[in-house]
A and B are shown apart, each in its own frame.
Chain A
């Protein structure tokens, strides 16, 4: 029934309003005294080095892709660990298959030199 979605709708409206109102309020009633230090890009509190539009090595993408794969693996491992006892041998074997497939991926990436930085 559409009426059941009313709380979700209310939530949506409040979320949008909150974002709009806070940004609008701070720009309306906030004081504006720009000084060069305030206008600098924020780089963890250190003075920025060089331009932000630097090109960076394509190797980062490979690392990022590998990271995502093993990150997802970790995401799956947590719920599995929680219900490990209920699942018994079945769960153990299933997860083993999953990890072995990912491990093959790791071996492949390793042999292909994806982990070498030179």
Chain B
């Protein structure tokens, strides 16, 4: 038997390896630590994330295939790596005090976040449908556990169970799609599929189109696009708030990374087919997300619907199918990471065990009692609504202008109308904070250094990207250059 051992390029997997080792280390340290000692898990995880970030920077600008073309470490993957690492890092910083307050401070929490991040990185770097699927499962299984991490809370259990059942279902769709793709093209390699499709005479092959549809369902579930969004509000509401933040940014970014790579690169020759579908899905996703968010009174549910709406905006960038649109997606994801994590950070800080303050009415009068926190929340809400000079505005601007340049005027108009609708429910919180009298007593905020650092990073990110967008847009553009 002839056995060919593939070329193993360990360096190209640097970030993933560092994070995996950090996660295993965190797991062991938290078990072997003597009772009563303070658990250093969070800080060890942050150290791992820092080194993974550094190694991502070193890999920048030198795209390479490795592991028998299973992995493609290009700028696109590395740009998404940095988004995942920012999301994981900020979520960990926000979790330290939150977990202690909920009496749920366990090292496993941080190890699972790291494992989920590794999965996300494999999704972004996967150049084979199998790698993407493996990454998706690594990420999802960790997130299922994290969603149910508050095991004594019914809501958290409900959230984990719903996410597990529906997530398993969507994984099956994705896997069936991969099988169909393999049946139609004879390969699961993204490059191979794209080469097959560029030569194929049978682009209307029903198996190919069915496979594409199933892939669309699988990715659509993870990015929470309508009509695969049903799980989002319940899961986001019940999961620990810092995990909701991590999910809404990290999972969405990872799913978009794989979605964009498969559809805009591999299935590029089928673009006329999927474009109409995505057009309709984008409009539905935006509209449903925004309209339903208006009537939500729980702030986590409201942000869940808002995250559905944001998935819709990002899908506009895919419909545009241009370099500008794709770099717009990357830029938007980066902006969304800062502003959404920031908003969830404020929610965590404004809650207390047994007194979560999740109702929107609880925010009335916050501007007088805690002006600093209210100011931060206002910045994040302005950014989510897309009001200058924040990151959200620039992100929306690039996505909509990409749509117009590609000739999708109506899509851009619907997008702008939708962001007008969204202004209502984002500013409703600002109005509550500054123009209403406080309705309840709240026993003071518990600022912790880690939370302060997280919120400062988030607000600086939101404003910096909003005021000086060009360096980040350049990075996003470099990330998609070799791609199309």
Interface of A with B (CB < 8 Å)?
A: 83, 86-87, 90-91, 101, 104, 107-108, 111-112
Q: What residues on A are CB-neighbors of B8 within 8 Å?
A: 90
Q: How far is the CB of A38 from chain B (nearest CB, A)?
A: 40
Which of B26-34, B166-174, B246-254, B330-338 forms contacts with chain A?
B26-34
> Chain A interface mostly helix, strand, loop or mixed?
helix
- Tell me if B443 is interfacial: C-beta within 8 Å of chain A: no
Given A101-B24, A104-B24, A104-B27, answer yes or no on A111-B1 (Cβ-Cβ < 8 Å).
Answer: no
Q: What residues on B are CB-neighbors of A83 within 8 Å?
A: 1, 3
Contact between B3 and A112, CB atoms less than 8 A apart: no
- Tell me if B5 is interfacial: C-beta within 8 Å of chain A: yes
Q: What CA separation (Å) do A101 and B23 show in the bound complex?
A: 11
Q: What residues on B are CB-neighbors of A107 within 8 Å?
A: 28, 31
Contact between A104 and B5, CB atoms less than 8 A apart: no
Q: How far is the CB of A76 from chain B (nearest CB, A)?
A: 15
Q: Which residue of B lies closest to A100 (CB)?
A: B24
A-facing residues in B13-71 (Cβ within 8 Å): 24, 27-28, 31-32
Q: Which residue of A lies closest to B6 (CB)?
A: A90
Contact between B3 and A111, CB atoms less than 8 A apart: no
Q: What CA separation (Å) do A101 and B20 show in the bound complex?
A: 10
Contact between B31 and A86, CB atoms less than 8 A apart: no
Q: Which residue of B lies closest to A91 (CB)?
A: B5
8 contacts between A and B (CB under 8 A): A86-B3, A87-B3, A91-B5, A101-B24, A104-B24, A104-B28, A111-B31, A112-B31
Q: What residues on B are CB-neighbors of A111 within 8 Å?
A: 31-32
Q: Which residue of B lies closest to A90 (CB)?
A: B5
Q: What residues on A are CB-neighbors of B1 within 8 Å?
A: 83, 86
Q: What CA separation (Å) do A83 and B5 show in the bound complex?
A: 12
Q: How far is the CB of A2 from chain B (nearest CB, A)?
A: 10
Q: A83-B1, A111-B32 are in contact. List 6 more A-B contacts (CB 8 A).
A: A83-B3, A90-B8, A104-B24, A107-B28, A107-B31, A112-B31
Q: What CA separation (Å) do A104 and B29 show in the bound complex?
A: 11
**Ranked 6 nearest A-B pairs via Cβ:** A111-B31, A86-B3, A104-B24, A90-B5, A108-B31, A108-B27
